[in-house]
Amino acid sequence: MLGSGRGSNLSAIADACESGAARARIAIVLSDVPDAGILSRAQARGLPAQFVPPGPYRTKLDENAERAFIDALRQAEVDLVVLAGFMRILKGDFLRAFPQKVVNIHPSLLPAFPGLEAWKQALEHGVKVTGCTVHLVDQGVDTGAILGQDTVPVFDSDTAATLHERIQRAEHNLYPAVIAAWADGRIRVEGRVSRWAPRPADLLA
């Protein structure tokens, strides 16, 4: 997992892994911010966690930093790279190192409102429904194949803060569910389209 902030999605995913709801294990947590909450949350759970200096750029990793992130993930033998509030754009060598294996969660129903502060964009446009999206990361900004979505109503009384909080609650359900499906091999991606195979329990229902 890669993150730059508080790490609330880390907690949700770790809970799912520990309970068996997701048959996965968090191998390592990396951050580009030395005092990021995601690192302290990981350490409190006994998960390997480290700060990796990002280099001089504000929105991307420099070449040395990118190599350090790749090396740390490879040493941890990860099968999936999960971005949880990681505030740098990943391109080039990083995506080639983990092809079709980098996922992100975005606080809108993509392709609507890509980019920063999507909940504010939703309020400004007056939509009545927004939500969150888990997607593969590609060379674009929030343009990769959509793996899962959940909707969130927008109320007339909403502020940016209340709407963002409600979207985050939806994220904490959606992200672990998508990772669980991925770990079970139930997600198949064909170009820009993803399909979910049912679980055996679903077939028996």
Q: Check if the beta carbon of residue 27 is closer than 8 Å to that of residue 185.
A: no
Residues 80, 103: Cα–Cα separation, whole Å: 8
Domains of the chain in start order, with CATH, are 1-99 (3.40.50.170), 104-198 (3.40.50.170)
Question: What positions carry a catalytic annotation?
Answer: 106
pTM of the model: 0.94
The per-residue pLDDT for 91 is: 87
201 pLDDT band, cuts 50/70/90, is low
Q: In this model, does residue 191 exceed pLDDT 90?
A: no
pLDDT tens for each residue of 23-32:
999 999 999 9
Which is nearest to 54 in space by CA: 75, 78, 30, 77?
30
Q: How far is CA 140 from CA 24, 77, 137, in A?
A: 28, 26, 8
For residue 21 the two structure tokens come to: 């709801």
Residues 47, 26: Cα–Cα separation, whole Å: 7
204 pLDDT band, cuts 50/70/90, is very low
Query: What number is the average pLDDT over the span 120-136?
Result: 98
Measured CA angle at 38 (ends 41, 159), to 5 deg: 110
